[in-house]
A = this chain, B = another copy of it.
Amino acid sequence: MRHYLNINDLDDLKKTVQESIELKKNELEFSFLGKGKTICLLFFNNSLRTRLSTQKAAQNLGLNCIVMNFGSEGWELEFEDGVVMNQSKSEHVKEAAKVIAQYCDLVAIRAFASLTDKEKDKEEIVLENFKKYAGIPIVNMESATGHPLQALADAITMEEYKTTHKPKVVLSWAPHPKALPHAVANSFVEMMQLQDADFVITHPEGYELDPDITKNCKIEYNQKKAFENADFVYVKNWSSFKEYGEVMKSDSDWMLTADKMKLTNNGKFMHCLPVRRNVIVTDEVIDSENSIVIQQANNRTYSAQIVLKKILENL
C-alpha cells in the first residue's frame, strides 16, 4: 500500500482486520520497521484520539514522530492554482507539501470539511494536493469526506465482538447542536460495503448521505424499525448533505435510549467519540455493558499501526 486516503486503499479489509488483531497481541513485534524513519503528523484541526493513537502506533513501530499543529504553528496555506497571493495566505501547498516531504518519510494529515463548499470538500483539496506534490505516502487522519482509520478500527472492533457470522449493523443518525462533517459516517458506510453483514442506515428524511457513497445501501427512515434485531448500533450525527452543512433537526427524538436498545438483539453500542451525552445517547446506554466505545477507541492504535506497517513495508 502506498497511500491510505480511503478504506478502499486496503487490498483486503478482512485480512487486514485479522492482521490487526494479531498485531494487538504483540504490539512491539515490528518496532524495528520504522527505525531511522520519520512520520509527520499534520493537524489542521483539533484531535484527541487520532493525535494520541497515531503517535502511539508510530512509536510501536519505532518511527520518529514529529507532530505539528499547522494552523497555529505554521503558515496559512493557499490551495488554488495561479492565484496572486497578496492576501492572508503566505505559502502555497505546492511548496509546503514538497518541503515537508524533504524532512520525513511519510505524512499523516487531519483536515476537516469546510461544510460550506460541497464541491471543494468532495475534491479533498488538502489531502489530494499533498498527495500530488509531496511524493511520499499520505495517511488520512480524517479529511473532508472520510475517516478511514476510524472505519478500520470500527471493523476490528466488530470482528472482536460479533457473535454471528453475518451480524445486523445499523448506522443511525442522532441529533447534535452543531453542524458536523460526514467523514465518519462516509467511511463507516464504505467499510460496511466490504463486510458480510445486514447493513441498514437510518436517519430523518433530508439527512441522506452522499449517494455516491451510500450507493445501494438499505435506508430505513423509521429508526425503531431499523433497530429491530440489530447486533451493532453505530450512532453518529452528521449535518445535511443536500442542504450542505445545515442543521435541520436537533430535538431529542433520534437520541439513542435504553428503550430503543431493547429492540435490538442485545446489540452493542458504538460511537467514534467525542460524544455528547444525553444528546446523542443517554448515560444509561453509554454506561451499559453493551457499550464498546472505549474498546473502539483502543483499536485506533491498531488500525493506525497496521496501516503504517503496510506503508513502511512498501517504502
**Is A242 positioned at the interface, with any CB of B under 8 Å from its CB?**
no
Complex CA–CA separation, A275 to B312 (angstroms): 32
**Is A258 positioned at the interface, with any CB of B under 8 Å from its CB?**
no
Give the residues in chain B near A68, CB-CB below 8 Å: 48, 51-52
Q: How many residues of A contact B (CB 8 A)?
A: 61
A residues contacting B by CB (< 8 A) are 28, 36, 38, 40, 43, 46-49, 51-53, 55-56, 59, 64, 66, 68-69, 72-75, 78, 81-87, 90-92, 94-96, 98-100, 102-104, 177, 250, 273-279, 283, 286-287, 293-294, 297-298, 300-301
Q: How many copies does the complex hold?
A: 3
Give the residues in chain B near A78, CB-CB below 8 Å: 277
Contact (Cβ within 8 A) B51 A84: no
Known pairs A56-B38, A69-B73; A95 contacts B301 (CB<8 A):
no
Known pairs A51-B68, A102-B301, A275-B95; A59 contacts B38 (CB<8 A):
yes
Known: A95-B297, A96-B274. 12 other contacts (CB 8 A): A48-B99, A51-B74, A52-B66, A53-B102, A59-B64, A69-B72, A82-B283, A84-B278, A85-B278, A92-B277, A95-B293, A102-B294
Contact (Cβ within 8 A) A55 B48: no
Q: 5 closest Cβ contacts across the A-B interface? A: A91-B274, A85-B276, A102-B298, A52-B103, A84-B278
Complex CA–CA separation, A222 to B146 (angstroms): 53
Quick one: which of A48, A68, A84, A90 has the most chain B CB within 10 A? Answer: A48
Contact (Cβ within 8 A) B40 A86: no
Residue of B nearest to A99 (CB): B297
Contact (Cβ within 8 A) A52 B75: no
Known pairs A85-B279, A278-B83; A48 contacts B102 (CB<8 A):
no
Complex CA–CA separation, A244 to B274 (angstroms): 34
Give the residues in chain B near A55, CB-CB below 8 Å: 66, 103
